[in-house]
Amino acid sequence: MLLAGVVTRLWLATRQTRHVARHRNTVPPEFADRIGETSHRRAADYTLARIRFDVVSLLFDSAVLVGLTLLGGLQALSELASAVASSDFVRQLLLVGMVAALLALLDLPFTLWRQFVLESRFGFNRMTLRLFASDAAKGVVLAVVLGLPLLSALLWLMAEAGRYWWLWGWGLWVVFNVCVMLLFPTVIAPMFNKFTPLADQSLAERIHALARRTGFSLNGLFVMDGSKRSAHGNAYFTGLGKNKRIVFFDTLLSRLAPEEIEAVLAHELGHFKHRHITKRLVFAFAVSLAFFALLGWLAQQTWFYTGLGVMPALDGRNDALALILFFLVTPVFTFPFTPVASWYSRKHEFEADRYASEQTDPANLISALVKLYDDNAATLTPDPVHSAFYDSHPPATLRIGRLRAAAS
């Protein structure tokens, strides 16, 4: 499965490279009046550079996965944890901690390279090494504060809750995720960014008018200092229930005209009106129930451990091992479903676009999108197969085409 996945990804990367390179010098006619040739070439070069980076990290990650499982890496760490730890419970926590630390360390050069070489080369990086280090430190603190209690509770359930521990484990997972979503806008996100209420009164009035028109109860309009990390612009909804707020990146506000911002927001409201967020949440929880049930069964099977290069302990619990193996190996088996998830996401994007074009002038969303493609150096000429497989958003030509049809 791993090999088939790697070959598929390499094949898709090759297709995308060829397609983007072939169209590097010609702006698609639909965009010729708004996007210059220099911009178009820059987008192509950025796309190509990112594919090369993705291929290298794909090969590296696959090697790490094989090293940890079939080549005995996890077994060695497990023996190390047994030698050091005093109790069975500490041994298991230690093992998860070591694996998490190892994976984070191996990933570090890639993250640094992406931010300070790749993104810098195209003028997107605004981060200093100092900010990077402080983000990383906060990330570690968050992982320990949130992750350690969750992991301890899960290990305890696996040991004590009997045959149906996975049902309890799933319940814990759902509660944990809902809590994180509730805490995110007011506690977690402000650890990394400053959020200030939108100061531009005429823009705020325009947005409130849109919210009233569409019957959306809004609990706040905030601007986030996204520019301290990256030049990429964005806008998002956050929070649950009555706690909903809209967050604009300052980079987005500085580039779009008020009527374009309204159109982007109308698109976001479209996601909300069509209940995309709720649908996704319900779907994610349903899938995680199936995964917990599967884990409950796999954890009992000796071949699950031995087949992946580890010897389960005969005199202690193997719950941490089961969790780690499951976490490492699941993506290999879910990869074939990527196109289904991408298709589902693109369907939602079309629905949100349609909603936006009913609520505001489609011309505004079109011009906002063109600016965003241009600013973010997003390619206008993706390979159709690559796009169908991975893209969460419809390709530019198709998306703008539909909006133009709605406008006329």
The C-alpha angle 125, 130, 131, rounded to 5 degrees, equals 55
Q: Which of 19/348 has CB closer to Zn ion?
A: 348
Q: Which of 61/268 has CB closer to Zn ion?
A: 268
Q: Which of 122/350 has CB closer to Zn ion?
A: 350
Q: Which of 91/276 has CB closer to Zn ion?
A: 276
Return the exposure string of 249-287: e unless at least 16 CB atoms fall within 10 Å of the residue's CB, then b: bbbbbebbeebbbbbbbbbbbbbbbbebeeeebeeeeee
C-alpha–C-alpha distance, residues 362 and 405, integer Å: 9
Considering only residues 341 to 360 of the shown chain, the ones binding Zn ion according to CB under 5 A are: 349, 352
C-alpha–C-alpha distance, residues 244 and 33, integer Å: 38
Q: How many residues belong to the site for Zn ion (CB under 5 A)? A: 2
* Shortest separation between residue 176's beta carbon and Zn ion, angstroms: 26
Beta-carbon count within 10 A of 318 CB? 21
C-alpha–C-alpha distance, residues 43 and 62, integer Å: 28
C-alpha–C-alpha distance, residues 307 and 269, integer Å: 48
Q: Which of 262/349 has CB closer to Zn ion?
A: 349
* Shortest separation between residue 267's beta carbon and Zn ion, angstroms: 6
Q: Which of 119/349 has CB closer to Zn ion?
A: 349
Q: Which of 20/235 has CB closer to Zn ion?
A: 235
Question: Using only C-alpha atoms, what is the Rg of the chain?
Answer: 24
Q: Which of 306/392 has CB closer to Zn ion?
A: 392
* Shortest separation between residue 137's beta carbon and Zn ion, angstroms: 32
The phi, psi pair for 249, rounded to 5°, reads -75, 140
Considering only residues 283 to 312 of the shown chain, the ones binding Zn ion according to CB under 5 A are: none
* Shortest separation between residue 395's beta carbon and Zn ion, angstroms: 14
* Shortest separation between residue 375's beta carbon and Zn ion, angstroms: 17
Considering only residues 375 to 404 of the shown chain, the ones binding Zn ion according to CB under 5 A are: none
* Shortest separation between residue 352's beta carbon and Zn ion, angstroms: 5
Q: Which of 336, 311, 349, 274 is nearest to 1 (CA)?
A: 336
Helix (H) or strand (E) holding 238: strand 235-238
* Shortest separation between residue 268's beta carbon and Zn ion, angstroms: 7
Burial bucket for residue 218 (CB in 10 Å: 0-12, 13-18, 19+): middle
* Shortest separation between residue 345's beta carbon and Zn ion, angstroms: 9
Q: Which residues contact 221 (CB under 8 A, 6 or more apart)?
A: 197, 198, 204, 207, 245, 246, 248
Q: Which of 126/280 has CB closer to Zn ion?
A: 280
The 245-249 sheet, strands edge to edge:
195-197, 221-224, 245-249, 235-238
The first and second tokens of residue 145, run together, are 């504060």
C-alpha–C-alpha distance, residues 70 and 322, integer Å: 15
* Shortest separation between residue 353's beta carbon and Zn ion, angstroms: 8
Q: Which of 3, 106, 117 is nearest to 57 (CA)?
A: 106
* Shortest separation between residue 391's beta carbon and Zn ion, angstroms: 12
Q: Which of 168/355 has CB closer to Zn ion?
A: 355
- Binding stretches for Zn ion (CB under 5 A): 349, 352
